[in-house]
Chain A
Amino acid sequence: MLENRKLILAHFWLAFAAFGLALLMGAWQMFVRSPLYTWISNPEWYYRSLTAHGTVMGYVFPTLVAMGFGYAITESALKQRLVGVRWAWVGFWLIVTGSIMAMVPVALGRASVLYTFYPPLIGNAFYYIGVVLVVVGSWIWVALMSINLRVWRRTHPGEPVPLAMFANVAGSYLWAWTAVGAALELLLQIIPVALGWRTTIDAGLARVFFSWTLHAIVYFWLMPTYIAYYTIVPRAIGGRLYSDTMGRIAFILFLVVAMPIGIHHTFADPQVGAGFKFIHSAFTALVALPTLLTVFTICASVEIAARLRGGRGPFGWIPALPWRNPIMLAVAFSFVLLGFGGAGGLINMSYQLDSAVHNTQWITGHFHLIFGGAIVIMYFAIAYDLWPHLTGRALPSLKLVRTQLWLWFVGMIVTTFPWHWVGILGMPRRMAYYDYADPAIAPQAFSVTLSAIGAFILLISGLLFLFILATAHRQPASEASEYRFSLPIHPVRSVPLALNTFAIWVALMIGLTITNYGYPILTLAARSDTSVPAVYVGAQ
C-alpha cells in the first residue's frame, strides 16, 4: 500500500538527478588528473568539482535515497498511511533549498574546501549553512520514522515490528546521532569563522568531531542496502529469509558499534592519544560482525531459493539461481564488491597497516569501492524493485537493466582496483595534478589511465540507469500487485522485547560515544592553545 507515491518519487528523482550530475563531475576529475589529458592549469577548478562531487554523493544523494525508501517502507511494511506527510514535504524542500544554497558558492569557487570541510580551510558561510539545512531536513525524516512506528505500535500492541521497519528506524536513529558530530563542528566551530565572528579555529577538535560523523555515515549509507538484502532479495528471487532474528541482531549491532569507532580516521593526527586510537581500532573490528552475519544469512536465504528451484549438491545449487533476475545479479555484484571493500577496510582499521596507505589513493579507491560499488548498486536494485509500484508501469526492458548492472560492476572494478594499486605504490590523494613524465610516477600512468576508463564505464552505466527510470514513466500502465517484503522461513509470532525496541541499543550507542569520544573532545575543547588562524578559500 503505497499512498504517497509522489513524495517517494520526488525523493528518488532528486537523489538520482543529483547523482547523475555528481557522476559526471567524478568522471571529469578522473580524466583531467589522468595521463589522458594535459592539465587544466588551475587546480582550483579541480577542487571546486571535487567539493561538489563529494557533497552531493556524501550528503545529498544517499540521504534522499534513505528518506524515500524509508517512507516507502513505512507505508508498505506497516500497512498504514504515512503520518506527517506535510512535514515530510517540509523536509524535502529543506534539502532542495540546502543543496542549492550549498552548491552556489561551490560553483562560484567560494567554498572549494572538499565535502569533509578540512578546517582551517574556510569557505563561504552559505556552503556550510546549506549542508546544515540538508541535515535538518533529514532529521525531520528521523522524527517521522519514529512517530510512525509509535502510531503503529499503539494499534498493534506487543506485535513484532516488521523487519524492514525495524531496520529502517534503526538506520534513522543511527543517522540522527552520528550527524551530531558534524553538526557540532559546523555550528560551534566553522560557521562562526565563516561568518567572520572569529578568525581562528581548533582544527584538531574539528577533525575529531568530523570523525564522529565520518565513519558511521558510511553505515547510514549502507542501511538501505542491508534492508534490501534482508527484505527485498529473498522475495524477489522466490525464496525465504533464513532468519528474521539474525536480521534484527545485525541492525542492532550496527546501531551500537558503527558510531564509537571514527577515530580510526585520525590515526595520523597528533591531537588524539594513542590509547583512544587503539580502543577505536578494536571497536572497528567489531563492525565486521554484523556484515559477516548478513553475508551468512543472505547466502543461506539465496540457497533456499536455489533449492526450491531444484538446485542440488554442495555447489550445484548456484547455477539454479535466477541469474536473469536483476535483483539476483545486483546482490551477487554487491557481495563481491563488499568482500573486496571489506578486506580493504580491515587494512585501514589496523594502525600499522594504515600507516602504509594513509592519505594515499588507496583510501579513495576503498571508499569508492564500498559506497559506489557495494552500496549504490543496491540503490539501483531498490529503485528497479520499487519503480513499477511507484509509477504503476513495468520497467521497459530487463535486458537493459542487466546491462546497466553489469556495466556498473565491471566499471567499478576497473576504476577502483588500479586505484588501490597506485595507492600502495604511494600515490597521494587530494592532488589535482600529477606529472607522469617524472620517472618516479611514470609506472603508475597505466593504472591511472585504466581507472579513468573505468570512470567512463560508470558514467555510461549511470546514464543508462537514469534512462531506464525515465522511460519507465512512459510505459503502458499496468496493475502492480501490492508491494511486500520477504517472508522468513519461520513466521515471526513473537519477538523478545529487547529485539523489538531500541531503548537499550540507543542507550549503549550514546554510552559508547561518551566513553570513546568524551575525553578527547573535552580535553581539546578545554585547552586554549590549540587554535590556528583560519585560511579563507577563494577570498579574493
Chain B
Amino acid sequence: MSTRELFTFKNAYFSASVGITAGLFVLTALGGFILLPYLQKEVRFASLWDAICSAAGLPQRAAAVATGKVGPRLTEAVLTPTMLARPSQESIGRGATLAHRCAICHGPTGLSRADSPNLAGQYASVIYKQMLDFRSGARTSAIMSPFAADLTDQEIADVAAYYAYLPRLPAYHPERKAPKPRIVIYGAPLRGIAPCGSCHGSLDNKVGSPWLEGQSEVYMREQLLAFASGQRRNDISQQMRNIARAMTQQEIDEAAAYYASQPPDVVKAVD
C-alpha cells in the first residue's frame, strides 16, 4: 500500500472522486459567482469581475449615488468594558476641581435638587460618553453643551472618574410603595422591549448604561419622551429610541416613577 498507488489518475477511485469534486466545485462556483449575480434584476454590475467580487463578499465602494441631506450628528463615542477602569488618584483629584462648575445643578455631593441626574457613584463610562456626545453635538442641551464644548478628553475622563468615585447616597426622593410595574420586570418581548434591568443594572449592566435608581422622575420621563420623539438620538444602534418609541405613555410614567422611588444603594458596584 503506498501513497503513490493511491494518488494517481490511473486509480479509478482517485480520478473519479477528484474529478467529481472539482467538477461540482467549478459548477457551483459558476452558479454562485456569475449566474446568480446576473439573475438579480435590481443590481447592475460594471463588469464580470465586479459581479464576482460582489458575490465573494468583497466590500466595495457603493456606486455613486446622490447623497441626501446630511442628518444630525450621531454619537462617535466608543466604549469598551475596561475603559476608565481603575483611574489614578490624580485623575480623581483633577476631576474634583473641574466638578465645581457642575455642582450648581448636580449638587455639591453629586446629588441634584434640580431634577438633573444624580452623578455621585454613576458609572464613569456613562458620564464619559454623555460628555463626549454633548461636546460633539450628538446630544444637545442649552445648558450642558456650552459646559462640554471646551473640555479635553482627559478632562472629561477626570470628571467621570471623580463622580464614579463618590459614594452613592440616597437621593431626595420620596419612598413609594407601589408594586414593580410590568414594563420594568418583563419588558414587552413582542414589542422588542427588554426588561430595563437587563441593561440598567438589576439583571445585568451593559457598558454605557446608567443605573437609574433614585434619579429624578421628571428627568427620566423627559428623556424617554425625547428618545421616543427622536429629539435625543445619541444612543448607539438606536437601542433606547427603539424601546421608547414602542412604550406607551403610561408605561413611560410607570417606569420613571418606579426607578425614582428606588434607593440607589441597592445597585451593585461593577468595579
Contacts and interface: CB of A to CB of B under 8 A. Distances in A.
Contact of A441 (B190, B203, B204): B190
A35 B7 CA distance: 60
Contacts of A41: 185-186
Nearest to B187: A433
B205 A515 contact: no
Contacts of B37: 274-275
A283 B31 CA distance: 13
A527 to B, nearest CB: 8
Contact of B25 (A279, A499, A534): A279
Nearest to A158: B1
Interface in B11-51: 11, 13-14, 17-18, 21, 24-25, 28-29, 31-33, 36-37
Contact of B28 (A39, A279, A519): A279
Contacts of A504: 6-7, 13-14, 17-18
Contacts of A276: 32, 55-57
Nearest to B185: A41
B64 interface: no
Interface in A472-529: 496-499, 501, 503-505, 507-508, 511-512, 515-516, 519-520, 523, 527
Given A275-B33, A501-B1, A539-B81, A39 B21 contact: no
A155 interface: no
A43 interface: yes
Contacts of A39: 186
A515 B79 contact: no
A499 B6 CA distance: 10
Given A158-B1, A433-B189, A277 B32 contact: yes
B210 to A, nearest CB: 14
B5 interface: yes
A519 B247 CA distance: 44
Interface residues of A, number: 56
B142 interface: no
A282 B5 CA distance: 32
Given A275-B56, A504-B17, A43 B195 contact: yes
A438 B18 CA distance: 56
A272 B32 CA distance: 13
A42 B29 CA distance: 48
B62 interface: no
B34 to A, nearest CB: 9
Contact of B204 (A438, A516, A538): A538
B13 A535 contact: no
Given A276-B56, A504-B17, A199 B190 contact: no
Interface in A426-448: 431, 433-435, 438, 440-441
B29 to A, nearest CB: 6
Contact of B32 (A279, A435, A537): A279
A274 B81 contact: no
A256 interface: yes
Given A438-B190, A503-B6, A537-B204, A200 B13 contact: no
B198 A43 contact: yes
A434 B28 contact: no
Which of A256, A279, A534 has the most C-beta atoms of chain B within 10 angstroms of its own C-beta? A279
A361 B37 CA distance: 31
A199 B125 CA distance: 15
A519 to B, nearest CB: 6
A310 interface: no
B240 interface: no
A434 B18 CA distance: 51
B21 A273 contact: no
A122 to B, nearest CB: 9
Given A433-B186, A498-B14, A273 B56 contact: yes
A520 B57 contact: yes
B268 interface: yes
Contacts of A497: 1, 5-6, 11
Interface residues of B, number: 47
A199 B82 contact: yes
A540 interface: yes
A533 interface: yes
B226 interface: no
A103 B154 CA distance: 42
A536 interface: yes
B81 A503 contact: no
Interface in B116-165: none
Given A275-B55, A438-B190, A519-B56, A256 B32 contact: no
A282 B80 contact: no
Nearest to A538: B204
A536 B80 CA distance: 10
A271 interface: yes
A41 B198 CA distance: 11
Contact of B80 (A43, A271, A527, A533): A533
A44 interface: yes
A437 B18 CA distance: 58
A196 interface: yes
B186 A503 contact: no
B15 to A, nearest CB: 10
A533 B207 contact: yes
Contacts of A435: 186, 188-190
Contacts of B28: 278-279, 282-283
B90 to A, nearest CB: 24
A267 to B, nearest CB: 13
B11 A498 contact: yes
Contacts of B189: 431, 433-435
B33 A540 contact: no
B185 A274 contact: no
Given A199-B83, A282-B32, A497-B11, 18 more contacts: A196-B82, A199-B80, A273-B57, A278-B28, A278-B55, A283-B24, A498-B13, A504-B6, A504-B13, A505-B17, A507-B7, A516-B25, A523-B56, A527-B59, A533-B80, A535-B206, A539-B270, A540-B268
17 contacts: A43-B203, A158-B1, A196-B82, A199-B80, A199-B81, A274-B57, A278-B28, A282-B24, A282-B28, A440-B190, A498-B14, A504-B7, A504-B17, A504-B18, A508-B17, A512-B25, A516-B25
The 9 closest A-B pairs by CB, nearest first: A273-B57, A275-B55, A278-B32, A498-B13, A275-B32, A199-B80, A275-B33, A282-B28, A273-B56
